[in-house]
């Protein structure tokens, strides 16, 4: 899949007379500002940060994204870079093949928590253990958003989902899988971090971590992973405006944000 164009189409910027323009309404690598995701969805925030990072690191012409299936997959319709879509959960395995035949490419996976933690945990762990020089990105909203908000391996204890209406119970459903911590425990993982896009500070943090992850890849240091917590008010049964608060109150106690491993940084 490729949306690649020769000229970025800036579209119609919204300008307010007298107001200072601090940013454009969309990143250069966005071919459109339109998406059909729900109001308050956190995925498009993460998409924009990712595209800004690719642009700022001058990787646009050699970036290849590998996606699975989920609401987050809609990035392929609005990003001016190349993508491959593969079977649910298999993106790290497919990205491994892409990177091995195209070592100069900046290869990344974009996956949901259902995709990476539930359906494809083996793939991400083995890719990290093999120290593949790829960057894996998991947008963790704690539900299978695209299919209606069912519980995933990443749903937190007590979380109400379509398949755990009384809340996730450890006795019945077990405990959530902390993907970032698992990957960080493997020697092949060179950079691992977790961030969130529910605050302005979290957006800035996500950008720093994604940059570092791609720098880890281009320096040849090994596997990199960034887990990004994103809002899904629809799957969480909360009003749109309550999404950011729900993320910090319900998800962050289980998934603390911050860097977990950075092999490029001298000890």
Ligand X SMILES: Cc1ncc(C[n+]2csc(CCOP(=O)(O)OP(=O)(O)O)c2C)c(N)n1
Using the Cα atoms of residue 95, residue 98, residue 103 and residue 109 in order, give the sign of their dihedral.
negative
Piece in contact with ligand X (CB under 6 A), picked from 68-76, 170-178, 191-199, 221-229:
68-76
Beta bridge partners of 137: 110, 226
Question: HSE (CB half, 13 Å, CA atoms) of 8?
Answer: 16
141 binds ligand SF4 per the rule CB under 6 A: yes
- C-alpha 175/C-alpha 53 separation (Å) is 33
Q: What angle do CA 132, 137, 139 make, to 5 degrees?
A: 155
Work out which of 72, 209, 246, 255 binds ligand X, going by CB under 6 A. Answer: 72
91-120: which residues touch ligand X (CB under 6 A)? 112-115, 119
Q: At what angle do helices 43-56 and 200-218 cross, to 10 degrees?
A: 50
- C-alpha 137/C-alpha 248 separation (Å) is 20
234 binds Mg ion per the rule CB under 5 A: no
CB of 55 to ligand SF4, least distance (A): 24
Q: What phi, psi does 48 have (nearest 5°)?
A: -60, -45
38 binds ligand SF4 per the rule CB under 6 A: yes
CB of 31 to ligand X, least distance (A): 20
Work out which of 42, 92, 112, 176 binds Mg ion, going by CB under 5 A. Answer: 112
Torsion of CA 104, 110, 115, 119, to 10 degrees: 10
111 binds Mg ion per the rule CB under 5 A: no
Q: What angle do CA 20, 244, 39 make, to 5 degrees?
A: 75
Structure tokens at 229: 């917590």
Nearest to ligand X of 153, 190 (CB atom): 153
Q: How far apart are the first and last CA of the chain?
A: 41
- C-alpha 209/C-alpha 57 separation (Å) is 13
CB of 114 to ligand SF4, least distance (A): 10
CB of 259 to ligand X, least distance (A): 23
Q: Are 213 and 135 in contact (CB under 8 A)?
A: yes
42-61: which residues touch ligand SF4 (CB under 6 A)? 43
Piece in contact with ligand SF4 (CB under 6 A), picked from 89-97, 113-121, 140-148, 210-218:
140-148
145 binds ligand SF4 per the rule CB under 6 A: yes
130 binds ligand X per the rule CB under 6 A: no
Q: Which entry of ligand SF4, Mg ion, ligand X, none binds 115, CB below 5 to 8 A by partner kind?
A: ligand X
Work out which of 27, 29, 41, 190 binds ligand SF4, going by CB under 6 A. Answer: 41
- C-alpha 172/C-alpha 267 separation (Å) is 42
Q: Binding residues for ligand X, per CB under 6 A? A: 69-72, 88, 112-115, 119, 141, 143-147, 152
Q: Which residues make up the interface to Mg ion (CB under 5 A)?
A: 112-114, 141, 145
Provide the binding-site residues for ligand SF4, judged by CB under 6 A: 37-38, 41, 43, 71, 141, 145-146, 232-235
């Amino acid at each position: 899949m490729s949306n690649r164009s020769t000229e970025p189409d800036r579209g119609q910027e919204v300008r307010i007379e007298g107001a200072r323009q601090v940013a454009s309404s969309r990143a250069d690598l966005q071919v459109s500002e339109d998406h059909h995701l729900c109001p308050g969805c956190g995925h498009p925030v993460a998409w924009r940060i990712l595209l800004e990072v690719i642009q700022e690191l001058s990787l646009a012409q050699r970036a290849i994204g590998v996606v699975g299936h989920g609401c987050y997959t809609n990035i392929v319709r609005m990003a001016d870079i190349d993508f491959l879509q593969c079977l649910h959960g298999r993106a790290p395995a497919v990205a491994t093949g892409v990177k091995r035949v195209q070592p100069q490419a900046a290869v990344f996976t974009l996956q949901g928590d259902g995709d990476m933690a539930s359906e494809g945990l083996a793939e991400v762990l083995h890719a990290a253990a093999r120290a593949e020089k790829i960057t894996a990105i998991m947008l963790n909203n704690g539900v299978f958003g695209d299919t209606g908000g069912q519980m995933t391996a990443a749903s937190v204890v007590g979380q109400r989902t379509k398949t755990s209406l009384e809340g996730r119970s450890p006795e019945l459903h077990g405990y959530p899988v902390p993907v970032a911590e698992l990957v960080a425990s493997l020697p092949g993982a060179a950079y691992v971090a977790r961030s969130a896009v529910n605050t302005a500070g979290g957006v800035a943090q996500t950008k720093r971590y994604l940059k570092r992850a791609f720098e880890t890849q281009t320096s040849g240091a090994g596997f990199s992973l960034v887990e990004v917590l994103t809002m899904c008010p629809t799957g969480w049964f909360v009003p749109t405006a309550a999404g950011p608060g729900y993320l910090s109150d319900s998800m962050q106690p289980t998934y603390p944000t911050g860097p977990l491993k950075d092999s490029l940084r001298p000890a």
